[in-house]
Amino acid sequence: MTFFRFAMLNVKRNPKVYGPYFFSSFFAVSMFFIYALLIFHPDLSGQINSVNGSMSELATIGFQIS
């Protein structure tokens, strides 16, 4: 039995364990991609506008931390 076959049998036998893991991994990667797209998009670069400058700066920092 190869390692790949062993891993696939474990995933097939325990879908209740591996399902949430794959879903949470997919969700985390998707959120990272969305935030990275918003931060590094050339048309949106430095364009988070607000009533005052400090809120705009805090929003940009919040996106970068996220």
Contacts of residue 62, Cβ cutoff 8 Å, sequence gap at least 6: none
Find the range with the poorest average confidence among 6-10, 24-28, 32-36, 52-56: 52-56
40 within domain boundaries: yes
Residue 9 scores a pLDDT above 70: yes
Q: Say which amino acid occupies 12.
A: K
* Residue 41 pLDDT: 72
Instruction: Tell me, yes or no, whether 7 lies in a domain.
Output: no
16 inside domain: no
Total structural domains in the chain?
1
Query: Does 66 have pLDDT greater than 60?
Result: yes
Question: SS3 breakdown of the chain: % helix, strand, coil, rounded to 5?
Answer: 75, 0, 25
Instruction: Judge whether 64 and 44 are in contact, CB under 8 Å.
Output: no
Domain extent at residue 37: 22-66
In a domain? residue 35 = yes
Q: Is the pLDDT of residue 4 over 90?
A: yes
pTM of the model: 0.59
